[in-house]
């Protein structure tokens, strides 16, 4: 599956070392399967005067068994 991550800089590979402790659902690397959602999220960086970049990754779903994952069935504001 392809997943997307919005940031103020390109993130070549998922990086937990720079994740924030106080993120919405705790420390982690946040992604979405919905490109539009990633673009919408990237606008928060533009509002702060920063660049907005959406990085994409190929994710092997078998890896879900090795990770602690919080998943939502749909996109909500």
Long-range CB pairs of 52-55 (<8 Å, 24+ gap) are 52/6, 52/8, 53/6, 53/7, 53/8, 53/9, 53/10, 53/11, 54/4, 54/5, 54/6, 54/7, 55/4, 55/5, 55/7, 55/10, 55/11, 55/12
Q: Please give the DSSP secondary-structure letter assigned to residue 32.
A: B
- For the entire predicted model, the pTM comes to 0.77
Q: What is the pLDDT of residue 18?
A: 74
How confident is the model at residue 34, as a pLDDT?
A: 92
Q: Across the chain, what does the average pLDDT equal?
A: 86
Token pair, residue 49, equals: 């005067």
pLDDT digits (tens, 9 = 90+) for 9-30: 999 998 877 777 777 777 888 8
Residue 71 — pLDDT band, cuts 50, 70, 90? confident
């Amino acid at each position: 599956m392809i997943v997307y991550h919005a940031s103020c800089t390109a993130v070549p590979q998922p990086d937990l070392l720079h994740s924030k402790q106080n993120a919405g659902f705790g420390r982690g690397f946040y992604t979405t399967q919905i490109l539009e959602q990633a673009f919408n999220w990237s606008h928060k960086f533009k509002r702060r005067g920063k660049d907005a970049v959406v990085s994409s990754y190929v994710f092997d779903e078998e890896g879900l068994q090795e990770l602690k994952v919080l998943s939502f069935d749909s996109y909500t504001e």
